[in-house]
Amino acid sequence: MKRFEIINSTSLCTNKIFNDYIDCFSNLKDFFNFNPSLKTIPENLVPRDNALIEHLLEYNNNFNCGEKTLNNILSLKDTKTCVVATGQQPGPFLGPLYTIYKTISAITLADTLTKNTGRKFVPVFWVESSDSNIANISSFFYVNKEKKLKDLAFPFPKEKTGASFSKITLNYQDINTFILKLKDDIDGGKKEDILNFGNIKSGKDINLIDLFSSCLTQLFSSRGLVIIDPGQPEIQKLSKPILKKESEDPLKSYYFIQKTGKLLKEKGYTPALSAFPNNTLLFLEENNLRKKLKFFEPYFQTDSSKFSRDTILSLLETNPALFSPNVALRPIIQDWLLKTSIYVAGPNEAAYFAQLKELYNYHNIPMPLISPRFGATIIPDFISDLLSRSDLSVMDFRNRLDKKIQKPLRQDPELKQVFNYLFPQQVLQERRLNIIQFIAKYGLSFIDELFEIFSPENQTKSQILKERHYMVSM
């Protein structure tokens, strides 16, 4: 067992909505359906579509998922089965570490509730494949052999800028070159493990979402994780009723988000979602580019085209794949399809949900309980040694300008390495570094060690909710 310390995650977060949601829920009770304490676990007894379940079986099987995943999917036929969902944009090789922590949080919570309640809870990961902002996933940070923070450009095809992530195909040779370059530049006794990560040895070009789903399956399928890609044609067809309602009254949802944002401001909060006049919650694909769909009575418009309402509704009926939701509508579609009971969210996501309650009500969908993910900072042994000889703590390095650390930094320049590992670019490690950094050093079994550390057996009841950031000494 690795040594670890559990600290209050709100002490590391500057998002006031998230912090009050955890520590002062009464201030925000009008914006959420459930207290995050898990005292009340919501049920959603509406049957799931059989077409959804058949698709999930086929999709997850394509990545050679384990038997536990298949059994979890089959259990979704039972309306008493509850879903614990989470999701993230498809960053290269799973993106920053918080994607790993969100996934483990969802799996651990589902297992714990299954054990303690006598009801079946299934963890589901929603890959945000319909997004198109490649700048959000283009960086790949790691610390190299010289203990310097590096950002290695991931080989995205330039001609796909502006396209939905689901339309991006990665060149096998480019990916292989990227991994070999990374392998040569990082430390670790298990570097061979990264050559097998995500099934990149196939010798074939691979879709970005398939690479992401393959990595998720490799790490988590044995623990029953179910993966859903909303960019799949079957899911897009099933999403039509929500998209149609948004198209029929395209600015209604804007009103809800604007109204709730105003109420949050009156309570002293900064709304996470901005609502701009004439913006719908939809995107439309034109010439393989994902474009915002606006509405100026009586027409819908992109930056290059104008459509009547009848034209949009006809396009939606015949080709739903052309439409995708924005950040506010995505969870509505997700929770309508999955009948989600609990959604595991990061701090910024939790703040988004504070503006969505009326949108859930508008679509007659029960808003799930929002459960905060845990976070972690992995402290390699040589960083622990540096901290020990300086008599400084991890948190002393959170502010690079803190007077307390200036003299030790002058006396021991090696202490600057602490920033690169623990607070790269002056943010938490989990928001920059990739799991490959740690697979190369500790092997794929590193995931099992994380599950052991994050086990509810290692937490008090209050820590399960509040003190959710782990400082893990390797």
The full 3-state SS of 96-155, as one line of letters, equals: ECHHHHHHHHHHHHHHHHHHHHCCCEEEEEEECCCCCCHHHCCCCEEECCCCCEEECCCC
Average pLDDT in the 19-41 region?
Answer: 94
pLDDT digits (tens, 9 = 90+) for 203-216: 789 999 999 999 99
Q: What distance, in Å, lies between the first and last C-alpha atoms of the chain? A: 9
Please tell me the distance from the alpha carbon of residue 164 to that of residue 128, in angstroms, as a whole number: 10
pLDDT digits (tens, 9 = 90+) for 386-413: 999 998 999 999 999 899 999 999 999 9
Give the pLDDT score at 460.
56
Question: Model confidence at 458, in pLDDT bands (50, 70, 90)?
Answer: low
Question: Model confidence at 62, in pLDDT bands (50, 70, 90)?
Answer: very high
Average pLDDT in the 220-246 region?
Answer: 98
Are 277 and 271 in contact, with CB atoms under 8 Å apart?
Answer: no
pLDDT digits (tens, 9 = 90+) for 88-103: 999 999 999 999 999 9
Residue with tokens 């829920």, as numbered in its chain: 25
Maximum average pLDDT range among 157-171, 187-201, 362-376: 362-376
Question: Model confidence at 465, in pLDDT bands (50, 70, 90)?
Answer: very low
Give the pLDDT score at 54.
98
pLDDT digits (tens, 9 = 90+) for 118-175: 999 999 999 999 999 999 999 999 999 999 999 999 999 987 678 999 999 999 999 9
Lowest mean pLDDT among 78-82, 150-154, 358-362, 450-454: 450-454
For a pLDDT cut of 90, what percent of the chain falls above it? 87
Please tell me the distance from the alpha carbon of residue 154 to that of residue 139, in angstroms, as a whole number: 7
285 three-class SS = strand
